[in-house]
Structure 1
């Protein structure tokens, strides 16, 4: 497993040193930097691009919450708040924190935080891989797309019921609808993530959305449809957006334009 690039932010040198020593227990955690206040952390995040940040809440000047608000959304790493005061827990999770640790940090709770980070980062890598794959397919000339000429095989507007049928050359594949976790798209191609398999096929989100039961599947982004039964957690993000965490650990963004879908998850 690739090392998790980690930044420690705390205004107390002894606290930073103590956390650094504890993090050495994890072979896949690489401490790329430390910062003693919010301003230093802002520049460290920009320069070092950490994947994980352990962040003290109370710091002089720019505190932990102000730091997250100041960072560009694309640069915010997975964040574990570390503080001596438990009254900040609710605000920490409202700020989309990965976890919240009280000082002195318990080893078992630190283990949980690292495991959460591993799961989230693995899910993001998988999602990034499929996103790149879709973009590559979408730019291929028509003559080079034969490998991906998998299409929806049923009538375009007919509900698919418990099985979704796709045509792969001369074969008909029937996918159990309940096994579908989510669907993403780029251009005229889609990835259907079902069970342990991913099917890349030609078609549009609008076409597939008409086929699926709206009580079970919801459009949560212009390029994503999710199986509502597979959503295990919903975390607020910036600018009115949310992250949906699936039972597989994958994360999908619920964009502002689809916020009415929130009521389907309650």
Structure 2
């Protein structure tokens, strides 16, 4: 056998609610011969089931997911099933600094090949010298740094099952020249993408925000706002009627009269109201 070939495979799971993100990471991981992809999960529930049944060595875990997010997945993992975790994040610099000072790694979206290679190298190093208990401790340290809770508080929350929900801004700031308009998040009916801009429909007005869809989605509480199309986010509280359409698609009728198309691939995100 060639001495350069890896001696063992790193059994890996990808967890991300966006199919394109999972596909992109899958393709990038093909360049690493010691990475063996054993499952892809589209939400936290699937991730926990796969971790328990497959006992992976490594998971690439998206932080911002509807329902059970990345931090909640960490909280619910059992110590005897603790894989190494590389967080996939769109967080800003303050959070990235927190990742940097702990052993757990991250890759920032959009994922760059060079940064991914660094993360894989760190994974290889950790696998040689770490155990499950140490992994749990590192993850708790990381969450402590991100959330501001003390280690004792994190331990208590893990024991009791209590974990604070992420906080989302009550208002979205929209800058236009020298003016800033604050739009109350709960007033938003829906959002549609237009190139590098987001058109925010609220109270019969349209506000234009320079942003990516993912960045804006991260600011909106997923209990109320869900993506229903590659370029559309809807406030579920504004939905008055759901009409089935051809090819498994649906049309959502909002309280203000707007009619929005929902793609089949996003149907599971709001299946509780269909």
TM-score (norm. length: structure 1) = 0.45
Q: Higher relative contact order at CA 8 Å, sep ≥6: structure 1 or structure 2?
A: 1
* Structure label with greater radius of gyration: 1
